[in-house]
Structure 1
């Protein structure tokens, strides 16, 4: 009776009732024998971070629609992750801040030979400098550094997801970064600056190594923070006021990433110190200070490491994702990839394969849910393709903002100081959004959905570009050299402080655009691929840098106005895609924090392997006999 067509239906029932085979999805708590047993099953717990809220009541459908959603409190290990991000970003931006002046400008006349300006009135409108290689070389090298710092994280994310785990990837990146900071000081030594070729060579080596360090740290630190959320499912909690609320994982991730992003920019504000260090003392001090702050990272890693929940690496997960995509594209399936229909994705689901082919190949080591997760991730990644437009609006193409600043009246202010208004604005507005505006909107029943936040951010970007075009036009009109103001010996009477709104508005926009993209990357990626998808959300910075690099030769005087106009139009039009075309990304995701799937074990059942199914059939025959 078990050889009739009903067997196929029963095989599908097995798919819905059997445990996930561990093959291809290793977990740290299993023996080698259990890992290779296709019928083995196990469960896992999340660890200390899960304690405390699991005993609370799970909300009903009515409570989900009526009760206010609030975030969970961040544990001290989460605060430790934010402190690590502060130190890493302080060293990154503190070092990167002086790059423009170090490469672009020559040693100031009357200076101390270390790049600092002349003392007294002679240095009032001077800018710090060292190599004097000009705007094109500066744009090329700074954009190369940014490009590498946001491309390498894709590799770093894959390594973290499949081989090392997030914590080990961060530790390796920290060690690599320490080497980079030591090398970076060498080209800034006065005796080395006098030999531009040697200084340039060691400088390039140091920034490449520093980019590799960021490549290991960036894709892992944010996801590792979010891994520590104390409740993996919505739970009902009664506040001291008597109000019943829902402690929601999605709201928790949103709140924690806002705090995380604020720490990024508190660290970024450290560039103020390096701006004055290069101007008043020299570049050697400007590059030494970030290295000192960087030493906080290994200390905090040692203190927090043993208390962190660490999702284990998942071996073949990237290979599995590739096989899923390949299977969907095969046999003419690619023709339906843009149809948006389930049929295209069903081609890779084991249940569909079993129903249509009667068997499953040995290479199909995933379950139906994994295919749905890949689909969800690719939909989210489509949003990331638009974000480079905002990145370009937030600073311009090529070296636009720096070229604008050197043509303005400084009155003793370092020309690259105003760029630090960006992190300052984020430091100020982040708590306003996190603790005032967002909670107030949620309390009155109008929480800001992800795509609404993206819309607001892009509109702020468009406003910034309009203001930038107007200010650049005014500089050209008032400069003694007209439309060649950047290389003019005399500056325009337009004050450098007019750049403040050009850094403030996009900084506020970053809280809506970048933080939301990180949130989407974490909540809409497979539990076993969060590092990779998170790194893809960072990749938009690399795309923007590549565009800036490609256009650096043409984004010079007298053509500095029209790029701002083009970016304003692009940003304005792109803003309307979010509440319309990408509206579906406003739908909440409830199971993004499934600890079992992060550990490589799932509660959702999968189809038994062909050999196991055959053995089960034989066993059932014996029982019936």
Structure 2
């Protein structure tokens, strides 16, 4: 689901590495690898550089076999399996998103539509034929107000992870941040029940106030959970460096950390959408019983989350928080922009970034206070590649808006269509269905097939494909909306009409499913970039920046909320189609440098801060 998120693809192999890039002493001692070469039948007395590059490298400390430069270029890359602890984290995410989407799914109808005539007073439709084409409703605030509140909720849900990520990276660690979010989320679900009580619904202002408080608390809970849970899941990967694996067929392949994270991210995204399907149940609950049941069920599901967290706590790998990492990042940029450095910000090449590297500072500035430089050269490189990825994140809001339409436009379309006895928001749940079908097809069929052919879809190519899918859906939506206007008894004011168009609600399915397939190319790739290109000690914050694209989208939609109504809906969809088409061209052209794979992103020594320089008492540094 693009919400969010919310709240995981093809193999992108890492670039060929030199022997010096292989693990060093402290993780895998390559100095012990060369003496083991005779076991492979080589005469170490006559080993030249060419022999070393073509020979298998065995690490005597752990028994792993590392690929040579030639093997890195030629062997197929495969992913590692998900460990049991990773499966348990998937269950935590399932409980989290099921409760989240189960609660937020009925919100549009709860806010937009009034209590149905002949209903039970809890928001359910009238029984029998009278309720056949009715939609569940409660507060009757209309499309403009509901769009504003929903986009405010979405904005808060996806801007709060920045604060949550900073706390997770610097103070609490990811696991503690998840626990804090879980506790806050419990209170959010309790508060959300209050405006859904039939007696409270009758007092619209009071119900609206209680609802506003509940979404504020729920968005705060999401801010702690979202930027911590996915990186924590990827942290559990046992594949940290490329190693050789021999399959049962005898084929030698590379067990690759990049491909492993790609698979993990796709699995995690699949889990998110399993949970999103829970909103189907709450949609029917609100239509047939009332909103009190629709909001109660997610709260009960949420109780599963803390139980799993308690059970897995001792088995998780938990990278410790790094107290100064955000300060270090700030100081890096302070150095970069000092003394006229802002003039080189748009230049390509390493010269501008070298200004912040300790080695460059020590060589060119004898007056520098090295006691304040707590980072190393590699940290500057990590910041550089993170900034490149974040540039993409600031463009993806265009895709987010096209995925389901701006604001309440999709809901405004649905209430004007022939329902035939189904909830007007039912087609929206074809989004997770499409993802649940598409994810395994890509992971286990298409991508492995392309890999065997020697062809890999590059990240920016994937993002372009996803944008083109969404563009096609927006074009279809514009045509369908125009047709609704032509067949509605109220013409160009169909969404507020008492009667409906002859156009069936099921025509919304392709509008929803095409961008859903696009999410597997755009959103999943964004989350991969966020994890693999983030500094080892700042993965939560960069992941939060990927989520922040949804907040940007929500802010834009808030600004134009008054336009999301009849008779402008055709033009809204048309504008989206044009914008996302431009994006499809921009990704593989301007951002093609992001097709190059990141390296050493899974280094646990760096994640734990073990490679940070130690500061001498006199202000110098010790590596």
TM-score normalised per structure 1: 0.89
Q: Are 1:558 and 2:567 matched, yes or no?
A: yes
Q: Equivalent residue for 2:558? A: 549
Q: Equivalent residue for 1:387? A: 396
Q: 1:433-452 maps to which residues of 2 (within 5 A)?
A: 433-452=442-461
Which of 148, 167, 172 is 1:164 aligned to? 172
Q: Equivalent residue for 1:6? A: none
Q: Are 1:194 and 2:220 matched, yes or no?
A: no
Shift of 1:55: 3.0
Aligned counterparts of 1:495 and 1:68: Cα–Cα separation in 2: 48
Aligned counterparts of 1:564 and 1:555: Cα–Cα separation in 2: 10
Q: What SS class does the counterpart of residue 566 from structure 1 fall into?
A: helix
Q: Equivalent residue for 2:505? A: 496
Q: Are 1:611 and 2:618 matched, yes or no?
A: yes
Are the counterparts in 1 of residues 336 and 353 from structure 2 also a CA contact under 8 Å? Answer: yes
Q: Equivalent residue for 2:276? A: 268
Are the counterparts in 1 of residues 615 and 622 from structure 2 also a CA contact under 8 Å? Answer: no
Deviations 1:234-255 (A, max 9, x none): 0000011111110100000000
Q: Equivalent residue for 1:26? A: none
Q: Equivalent residue for 1:246? A: 254
Q: Equivalent residue for 1:21? A: none
Q: What SS class does the counterpart of residue 229 from structure 1 fall into?
A: coil
Q: 1:343-358 maps to which residues of 2 (within 5 A)?
A: 343-358=351-366
Q: Equivalent residue for 1:413? A: 422
Aligned counterparts of 1:557 and 1:138: Cα–Cα separation in 2: 15
Q: Are 1:464 and 2:481 matched, yes or no?
A: no
Are the counterparts in 1 of residues 402 and 474 from structure 2 also a CA contact under 8 Å? Answer: yes
Q: What SS class does the counterpart of residue 425 from structure 1 fall into?
A: helix
Q: Are 1:90 and 2:98 matched, yes or no?
A: yes
Q: 1:48-67 maps to which residues of 2 (within 5 A)?
A: 55-67=63-75
Bigger mean CA deviation after superposition, 315-324 or 351-360: 351-360
Aligned counterparts of 1:142 and 1:300: Cα–Cα separation in 2: 30
Q: Equivalent residue for 2:6? A: none
Which of 149, 158, 170 is 1:150 aligned to? 158
Q: Which has the higher contact order (CA 8 A, sep 6+)?
A: 1
Aligned counterparts of 2:334 and 2:225: Cα–Cα separation in 1: 30
Q: 1:467-478 maps to which residues of 2 (within 5 A)?
A: 467-478=476-487
Q: 1:325-336 maps to which residues of 2 (within 5 A)?
A: 325-336=333-344
Shift of 1:609: 4.5
Q: What SS class does the counterpart of residue 237 from structure 1 fall into?
A: strand
Which of 573, 593, 597 is 1:588 aligned to? 597
Count of aligned residue pairs for this structure pair: 569
Q: Equivalent residue for 1:102? A: 110
| CA RMSD after TM alignment | 1.9
- Cα distance change of structure 1 residues 613 and 205 upon mapping to structure 2, 3 Å threshold: closer
Aligned counterparts of 1:265 and 1:566: Cα–Cα separation in 2: 28
Q: What SS class does the counterpart of residue 538 from structure 1 fall into?
A: helix
Are the counterparts in 2 of residues 521 and 530 from structure 1 also a CA contact under 8 Å? Answer: yes
Q: What SS class does the counterpart of residue 246 from structure 1 fall into?
A: strand
Q: Equivalent residue for 2:238? A: 230
Aligned counterparts of 2:348 and 2:169: Cα–Cα separation in 1: 28
Shift of 1:359: 5.0
Q: 1:6-17 maps to which residues of 2 (within 5 A)?
A: none
Are the counterparts in 2 of residues 149 and 211 from structure 1 also a CA contact under 8 Å? Answer: yes
Aligned counterparts of 1:417 and 1:478: Cα–Cα separation in 2: 22
Deviations 1:197-253 (A, max 9, x none): 111111111111000010000000110011011021000000111111101000000
Aligned counterparts of 1:438 and 1:92: Cα–Cα separation in 2: 31
Q: Equivalent residue for 2:137? A: 129
Aligned counterparts of 1:206 and 1:531: Cα–Cα separation in 2: 25
Aligned counterparts of 2:62 and 2:479: Cα–Cα separation in 1: 56
Q: Are 1:306 and 2:314 matched, yes or no?
A: yes
Q: Equivalent residue for 2:7? A: none
Aligned counterparts of 1:317 and 1:175: Cα–Cα separation in 2: 26
- Cα distance change of structure 1 residues 132 and 445 upon mapping to structure 2, 3 Å threshold: same
- Cα distance change of structure 1 residues 615 and 244 upon mapping to structure 2, 3 Å threshold: closer
Which of 70, 74, 80 is 2:78 aligned to? 70
TM-score normalised per structure 2: 0.89
Q: What SS class does the counterpart of residue 576 from structure 1 fall into?
A: helix
Q: Equivalent residue for 1:482? A: 491
Deviations 1:119-150 (A, max 9, x none): 00000000001111111110011111110000
Shift of 1:606: 5.0
Q: Equivalent residue for 1:217? A: 225
Aligned counterparts of 2:311 and 2:393: Cα–Cα separation in 1: 35
Aligned counterparts of 2:622 and 2:159: Cα–Cα separation in 1: 47
Bigger mean CA deviation after superposition, 435-444 or 274-283: 435-444
Aligned counterparts of 2:88 and 2:461: Cα–Cα separation in 1: 31
Q: Are 1:292 and 2:272 matched, yes or no?
A: no
Shift of 1:579: 1.5
Deviations 1:558-602 (A, max 9, x none): 000111111111111111222211111111112001100100111
Q: Which segments of 5 or more consecutive residues in structure 1 lack a partner in the other structure?
A: 1-41, 46-50, 617-625
Q: Equivalent residue for 1:422? A: 431
